[in-house]
Amino acid sequence: MSRTQRNNFSIQMLTIHPATIDDFAVIESLNNSVVNLTSPMDAERIQQLHAMSSYHRVIVQDSQLMAFLLVLGPDCDYNSVNYQWFDQHYDNFAYIDRIVVRDGSRGRGLGTLLYENLFAWAISQQIGNIVCEYNVEPLNEASRKFHNTLGFQEVSLERIG
């Protein structure tokens, strides 16, 4: 899937495609750049999550990986208390484990492009719920605003730790 984006009077080709093993080193680097907002992922962990994922896509621009989105379906052997909460409360869902956009490219709509692609995929797979979580202590305000803009609604507030 591709989309042409006009930005600063230039045309840039963006491509969304399934993540491959060739993307993992850059995915690890991008994740490490925001590890305070996500959770750590080394190469082995990326391989594990990729193998469990039902949807794992990247955006590439001019041969540079700009963003990734990793999503899990029900009944995964994933030791995240956040994922486990959704797995216990929903039967038909896609759990957004993480989305990361390269520093310097945030606010340009790349996250929205990935989510739009996810929504279309979920419809094609007859998935009824797209779910996620974000930190409220400390508040991840950017994530809160982003998800509210896309129509996500709070279903629970859990204190962990």
Domains observed in the chain: 2-149 (3.40.630.30)
Question: Which residue type does 16 have?
Answer: I
pLDDT at 99 over 70: yes
- Three-class SS of the chain: CEEEEEECCEEEEEEEEECCHHHHHHHHHHHHHCCCCCCCCCHHHHHHHHHHEEEEEEEEECCEEEEEEEEECCCCCCCCHHHHHHHHHCCCEEEEEEEEECCCCCCCCHHHHHHHHHHHHHHHCCCCEEECCCCECCECHHHHHHHHHCCCCCCCCCCCC
Least confident piece of the model among 17-21, 78-82, 146-150:
146-150
Residue range 113-143, pLDDT digits in tens: 999 999 999 999 999 999 998 777 777 788 8
pLDDT at 2 over 80: no
With bands split at pLDDT 50, 70 and 90, how would you rate the model's confidence at 160? low
Other beta carbons within 10 Å of 73: 16
- Which residue has better confidence, 142 or 64? 64
Token pair 């989309």 is at which residue?
A: 3
Which of 29-33, 41-45, 69-73, 156-160 is predicted least confidently? Answer: 156-160
pLDDT greater than 80 at residue 6: no
| Predicted pLDDT of residue 52 | 97
